[in-house]
Amino acid sequence: MNHKIANLIREHRSIDKQVSGAAYASPHIHRLKRLRLRLKDRIVRSRRREALKIA
């Protein structure tokens, strides 16, 4: 399970880079930002689930 979270975080970072890199150029920024938020959400949720499993 942990490697899945690590993959999500890695994905998240690359999306971050894309967003900051394309910040002035791309009309798709809002979509990227929304994607980023959704990814963050998923990471937080899966972390919470993991914490509950452990507890």
Q: Tokens for 7?
A: 């993959």
Give residue 2's pLDDT band: very low, low, confident or very high (50, 70, 90). Answer: confident
Res 29 pLDDT > 70:
no
**Amino acid identity, residue 37?**
L
Give the CA-trace dihedral at 7, 9, 13, 15, to 10 degrees: 70
23 near 36, Cβ under 8 Å?
Answer: no
Give the CA-trace dihedral at 43, 48, 52, 55, to 10 degrees: 100
Confidence (pLDDT) at 46: 87
Confidence (pLDDT) at 6: 80
Confidence (pLDDT) at 36: 84
Give residue 14's pLDDT band: very low, low, confident or very high (50, 70, 90). Answer: confident
Q: Tokens for 47?
A: 């972390």
Res 54 pLDDT > 70:
yes
